[in-house]
Amino acid sequence: MKFIDLFTSFIHYLIHPFKSHENFLHPEIESTPGFLRLTAYESLILSWVFVIINGILRIILLNFVILFLVDLVASSSVDFSSFIDLKKMPSYNFVVLSSILDLIFYPLFGLFIIQFWEFIFKMYGNLAGVKGDLHQKSQDILAIYFSSSILKIIPILGGAIQSIAKFILMYAGLRKQLHVSPALSVCIILTPYVILLGIISFFTMLFVLLT
């Protein structure tokens, strides 16, 4: 397995999610040179690389902004103290610490994401009567889902674009792997938000009843 093939396949996942799933489902028909079938865990590790790059870029960008503001305040004759409080700006140590924590907890959170979504996919798959290996189908969906982390290296807007890409990549996986309807695919994707809303509503009612 060549290292370059790993990243080529990962990028292929992001650019051609529907075609990638066709490669997974019909490898004897759909053949893409250098295409590899990664597990969700392998895809998670690759996505970690882009998270690391994003952390480095974030440190560089934030420190550039801080240095620019310091230089602006120092060289300008205008008093910016009422608009910019340099004491409240994040320090270099704070930026580095927050980035390191992101890098440390990302794989742990990723493992939770894999287990959570695999449970959701299997539950809906059994309810919908989906045939085949639901574990493998879940792995394929999540392997392509994690390829959205490539977008994190885009400055400023990377996070927002990645959120949209995650929705599209998971939608593609649900349509191709589980063969569910568009409406049900959206419902599956929104399941975590429904669960979160239910938990918030439960504790809100509990708080109201106890007060």
pLDDT tens figures, 148-170: 999 988 877 888 999 999 999 99
Q: Which residues are within 8 A (CB) of 211 and not within 5 positions of it... i.e. 6 or more apart?
A: none
User: How many residues can be counted in the chain?
Assistant: 211
pTM to 2 decimal places: 0.83
Number of other CB atoms surrounding residue 12 within 10 Å: 19
Query: Which pLDDT belongs to residue 80?
Result: 52
Q: Does the pLDDT of residue 40 top 60, yes or no? A: yes
Q: By the 8 A CB rule, do 152 and 164 touch?
A: no
Rounded to an integer, what distance in angstroms lies between the CA atom of residue 135 and that of residue 121?
A: 9
Query: Which pLDDT belongs to residue 210?
Result: 84
CA dihedral (108, 110, 116, 118) positive or negative:
negative
Share of the chain above pLDDT 70, in %: 83
Q: Tell me how far the alpha carbon of residue 82 is from its chain's centroid.
A: 38
Query: Which pLDDT belongs to residue 17?
Result: 94
Query: Which pLDDT belongs to residue 4?
Result: 82
Least confident range of 28-37, 75-84, 104-113: 75-84
Q: What is the mean pLDDT of the chain?
A: 85
Q: Does the pLDDT of residue 49 top 70, yes or no? A: yes
Query: Which pLDDT belongs to residue 211?
Result: 77
Query: Which pLDDT belongs to residue 90?
Result: 53
Output the CA torsion 168→171→176→182 (10° steps). Answer: -130
Q: Tell me how far the alpha carbon of residue 17 is from its chain's centroid.
A: 15
Query: Which pLDDT belongs to residue 45?
Result: 93
Alpha helix positions (H), the chain: 3-15, 17-25, 40-75, 92-127, 134-145, 158-173, 182-189, 191-210
Amino acid occupying residue 103: L
Across the range 8-32, mean pLDDT stands at: 86
Could you give the 3-state DSSP secondary structure of residue 146?
helix
